[in-house]
Structure 1
Amino acid sequence: MDFIIELGRYMADHSSELVSLTIEHILMVLYAIGLALIVGIPLGILAAKVEKLAPLILSLVNILQLIPSIAMLAILLLYFGLGTQTVVIGLFFYSLLPIVRNTYVGVKEVDESVTEAGKGIGMTPLQLLVKIQLPLSIPFLMAGLRVAAVIAVAVATIAPYIGGGGLGRQIVSGINLQNDIYLYAGAIPAAALAIIADLILGLVEKKTKKRFAN
């Protein structure tokens, strides 16, 4: 009980600093997710449209996901140096797999009869993609985005090891100083961010599923 009171007092006294670190954390995640959407959606579409490329594209993003986060950031550190930029690139790589895979699955899962109907009224392949296949794949994409966001929030906590910021600074300070108060003051907001992101994107995912089911 005393620990909780002490933790609450510390977080209240350092609220401005914690808010600043939280905003920094969110921005790193948003930049990485934005890049992953820009790159991942076209890659997912390409994999769905060109079957010969699908195994190569999916294998590459799978390999990126399998590399331990510390190892990934250490490798990127050699090429990009210390700083937030390197963290964002690492988070981008980790966010690619769920977005690419779910875009691929979403486009492939579109009912063939719907596609044939579009062809029947004279739609071009691009029109089929933009007006039918992509809209119908949005629920799958949202599911991928939800997973990517939670992963990015979690991985971003190790950013300070390569010169990045965010809530990881508070966590790393707690580890280095062996101070539970510092550690939990960073870990609790980070966990809350992951839960909030999952809940919000989960609600959006459900709404998109209902919309396209009707």
Structure 2
Amino acid sequence: MLTDIHEDVLPQLAELKIDRTRPLIITDADEVLFNFMIGLEDYLASRDLFFDWTSFALTGNIRRLSDMVPIEGAEVGALLSDFFEDRCALLPAVDGAAASLKKLSEHAQIVVLSNVPPKFAVHRRTGLCDKGMDFPLIANVGSKGQVVRYLTDGMTAPAYFIDDIPHNHSSVSEHAAHVHRLHYIADERLSALLGPAEHSHTRLYNWPEIEAHIIHHIEASVF
């Protein structure tokens, strides 16, 4: 239901036009299209901080160089806000992402569903356009399942969801189980910390694999 979607997201959805008869790819941005961790590590170094790679989470793993103590959760939130303000538009693109999306756009519609804070959506748009990925963007707030259900409701063609975060796959599985869910984490160091998302259909490891998987699935589907 629309009431389950954040008020900042609803106007973005209202502007989006989806062809319900053509395949749809819904892709995350950070660690799927952009090298978030590479950009974050560089930013942390400028603040005399570092990421210690103990786990997949940000909170608890961002530490001060001076005493190796993790910064508090509230500090993490403020730091990420500053990071998106300063670096969101400048993040490097994941190898192969732009080329594969260009090829996939011949077979399907593409929408970028990113949990970048809506106030920084303009920076994300700039990054997408600068890196050759000029596709519609939804700056989401909260879990993604309800938005994916909205985007795919009534479709007669297959839909695909690509994301690095396991709980986003769980949310989509709960609210839009018909969507084919692909788990992908671009940074190999981050990928090594986490197994396949429980509620994804498959785990893939690079954009050529994602491209081939989706094209094969589309060609094998009857719709």
Do Structure 1 and Structure 2 share a fold, with TM-score over 0.5? no
Q: TM-score, normalised to structure 1's length? A: 0.26
Larger Rg: 1
Structure with the largest fraction of helix: 1
TM-score by length of 2: 0.26
